[in-house]
Structure 1
Amino acid sequence: MFTVNASTKRTPVFAMVAMAAALSGYATMPAYAAGWPEKAIEVVVPYTPGGATDTVTRIVMKKLSDRLGQPVIVNNKPGANSTIGTAMVARAKPDGYSFVTVLAAYTVNPHLYKLSYSFDDFEPVSHMADLPLFLFVSKDLPVNSLAELVEYGKKNPDALTYASSGTGSSAHLTGANFGLQAGLKMTHIPYKGSAPILTDLLSNRVSMVFDPILVPMQYVKEGKLKVLAVTSAKRWEDEPNIPTMGEAGFPGFVMNSWVSLMAPAGTPKDIVERVSTEIAAIVKEDDVKKLFNDAGFVPVGGSAAELTELIKKDTAMYGEIVRKADIKLN
């Protein structure tokens, strides 16, 4: 004979309680409403202090701290094209207290490095900002437009060189893609940082660079450099005379770098949504928009779902460029 024990008897009772809770709305109560955040939040920036990525992250995180009522600590962990700091957060506890800032390099690195982490180790949170790149060329280069640059490059094979801050950087991949689309053979020259690039560009030891607007533009205004185009879909508001790459003869050529926030996989969805919503509001504030603009960034505040799609798109795009240009780490 089948005997009903005490635990079996209780099961329907618990089921009814759970159902009642669900129907009354308690089962869907956000986890953060129960107390998150209760302590300081850490955001790892896998780049050096004082750079553009660090600056943008600190602008947003100061505002986020004010909104959440808890400290948001920015911790710089640079190295290996951002992979060291990124790996730290991949291993962090997914409790809503660990995040990492990533750039477009996040979608390049899997094609170049043997990584200790994968995309599955992260939860997209927010696409905070875009960083358009501008094509700056030496003033001694006898060109004043993108069309003239392409013509010059075809008439002078092997004459053009382009700089970047390292193999696999946004500037490197953007330059490589330009060469592929234009049918130009150009030599990539990697540097350690922006300062030596500017020195060599000003002295015509390197032909060009795809770089953010902030520093080189002052030399354009002084007549020491020339700027031919911007890689964004729209023109830069403060410099409306600079055409986009698309307008200058390369339709569909949109290659912004970008700054986004990620969390360890498994971070509660309600926390991800809360942070994403707060950042979307933060980047719309007038003072933040001005600070971003002054640093060369365009505020976005894209959702987790939008960031997921951006990562997929850019991973495919950069993978194709790496393959076609045969880019490898030395």
Structure 2
Amino acid sequence: MQQGRRRVLRQLGLGAAGAALAGTGWTARAQGAAYPARTVRIVMPYAAGGTGDVVARAIADGLAKAWGKAVVVDNRPGAGGMIGADMVAKAEPDGYTLLFALTGLVQAPSLYTKATFNPVRDFAPISELATSHLALVVQPDVPAASIRQLVDYIRKLGKPLPYGSYGLGSSGHLYMEIFGRNAGVPLTHVPYKGEGPMLNDLLGGQLPAAMVAAVSARQHARTGKLKVIAVAGQARSPLLPDVPTFQEGGVPGLERQGWIGLFAPTGTPRAIVDKVSVDVNRVLTNADLRTRMVDLGILLKGSSPAAFTDVVKQEQAYWAEAIRASDIRLD
């Protein structure tokens, strides 16, 4: 077989170099066709039980059914997601160790001087799996029902307005710092270890404002326990269609949405990256899965590796500048 292939290539004038290139192409296609031949591990760089973990396990289950091979979710939390991401960046680039990442992947290098990976250099984007919205909420006794009213209220306070986030360097923290800077109002950050403890204080009256997941905002707005002021993103959240975006409310700079993506280590064969992308995008079209995810505030999307690569580059550049302007460092 190899001798016959080389003979044809010599007749075409391609010689040994051409044979090597052609062999590489055939090998790559063969790798894609044979994949996966064993268990695939998806590293989840956050603790089990959260919304992201639920999404990861649902997608892993869909891939396992499509491939007829086990797909396991391996939770490796710590250091704002950097421990799990670093593990995948250093893994064998054979397609059997993948990374389920959130927006924090592109934020971490600007927040931590000791970050050991570069999102653009060290990972091969596979697909942008989903997006989600964060919403600014306030207690019912805060005399504001819009961005403009909230800005006026903070200015009249004569002191910074405390706000909560689910952790130092979290998207909620970063979004609120951008809001305060662009609206020209003073804020005081109160970090929590997770959204649950933050919501407890918010609902209990100890905290006047916070950025929360849109699904949490909808739940507590329906019962009258919180007021939703605005959502981050270019468009309104389908979970909160009557709530304007920050930009609509007169404060630009918060057009980014949270995203969830699937990555492989850099150097993973293109045929494998493409196969995983096609297969995971097919999983995302499942109607029952889409309905379940909407109930969690997750909007399934799916994209090509090339399109997601562009998103990652744009997001890293945006957050690097936003974090620099906000002067936030976590180490």
Question: Does TM-score exceed 0.5, indicating one fold?
Answer: yes
The answer to whether the aligner puts 1:116 opposite 2:116 as a matched pair is yes
Distance 1:24 1:81, change over 3 A: closer
Matched to 1:146, the amino acid is I
Q: CA deviation at 1:111?
A: 0.7
Matched to 2:327, the amino acid is D
Q: CA deviation at 1:328?
A: 1.9
Which runs of structure 2 are paired with 1:1-330 in the superposition (5 Å)? 15=14, 27=26, 30-113=29-112, 114-119=114-119, 120-251=121-252, 253-329=254-330
Counterpart CA distance in 2 for 1:194 and 1:37 is 37
Specify the alignment match of 2:6 in structure 1.
none
Between 76-85 and 302-311, report the one with greater CA deviation.
302-311
Runs of 4+ in 1 over 4 A off after TM superposition: 11-26
Counterpart CA distance in 1 for 2:46 and 2:23 is 47
Native 8 Å contact 2:99 2:263 kept in 1: yes
Distance 1:263 1:24, change over 3 A: closer
Secondary structure class of the residue paired with 2:214: coil
Matched to 1:35, the amino acid is A
Query: What is the number of equivalent residue pairs in this alignment?
Result: 321
RMSD, aligned α-carbons: 2.5
Counterpart CA distance in 1 for 2:252 and 2:182 is 10
Native 8 Å contact 2:135 2:217 kept in 1: no
Q: CA deviation at 1:200?
A: 1.5
Native 8 Å contact 2:180 2:186 kept in 1: yes
CA deviation vs aligned residue, 1:267-292 (integer Å, no higher than 9, x gap): 00111111111222222221121111
Matched to 1:262, the amino acid is F
Q: CA deviation at 1:309?
A: 1.5
Counterpart CA distance in 2 for 1:20 and 1:111 is 45
Secondary structure class of the residue paired with 2:72: strand
Matched to 2:276, the amino acid is V
Counterpart CA distance in 2 for 1:217 and 1:289 is 18
Between 178-187 and 227-236, report the one with greater CA deviation.
227-236
Secondary structure class of the residue paired with 1:298: strand
Counterpart CA distance in 2 for 1:26 and 1:256 is 38
Native 8 Å contact 1:126 1:304 kept in 2: yes
Matched to 1:140, the amino acid is D
| TM-score, structure 1 as length reference | 0.90
Counterpart CA distance in 2 for 1:303 and 1:26 is 20
Native 8 Å contact 2:175 2:254 kept in 1: no
Matched to 2:99, the amino acid is V
Secondary structure class of the residue paired with 1:302: coil
Distance 1:58 1:24, change over 3 A: closer
Native 8 Å contact 2:28 2:269 kept in 1: no
Counterpart CA distance in 2 for 1:328 and 1:20 is 52
Q: CA deviation at 1:213?
A: 2.2
Distance 1:168 1:252, change over 3 A: closer
Counterpart CA distance in 2 for 1:257 and 1:194 is 15
CA deviation vs aligned residue, 1:94-139 (integer Å, no higher than 9, x gap): 0110101111111110012112222322111111001111111111
Matched to 2:250, the amino acid is G
Structure 1 residue runs of 5 or longer lacking an equivalent are: 1-10
Native 8 Å contact 1:31 1:271 kept in 2: no
Q: CA deviation at 1:232?
A: 2.3
CA deviation vs aligned residue, 1:21-45 (integer Å, no higher than 9, x gap): 9899974861335521110000000
Distance 1:34 1:233, change over 3 A: closer
Counterpart CA distance in 2 for 1:77 and 1:57 is 13
Specify the alignment match of 1:7 in structure 2.
none
Structure 2 residue runs of 5 or longer lacking an equivalent are: 1-8
Q: CA deviation at 1:174?
A: 0.7
Distance 1:302 1:174, change over 3 A: same
Counterpart CA distance in 1 for 2:210 and 2:25 is 56
Distance 1:179 1:37, change over 3 A: same
Specify the alignment match of 2:4 in structure 1.
none
Q: CA deviation at 1:314?
A: 1.6
Distance 1:139 1:235, change over 3 A: same
Distance 1:178 1:35, change over 3 A: same
Specify the alignment match of 1:6 in structure 2.
none
Q: CA deviation at 1:152?
A: 0.9
Secondary structure class of the residue paired with 1:201: helix
CA deviation vs aligned residue, 1:172-227 (integer Å, no higher than 9, x gap): 11111111111111011110111221121123322211111233432211111111
Between 99-108 and 14-23, report the one with greater CA deviation.
14-23
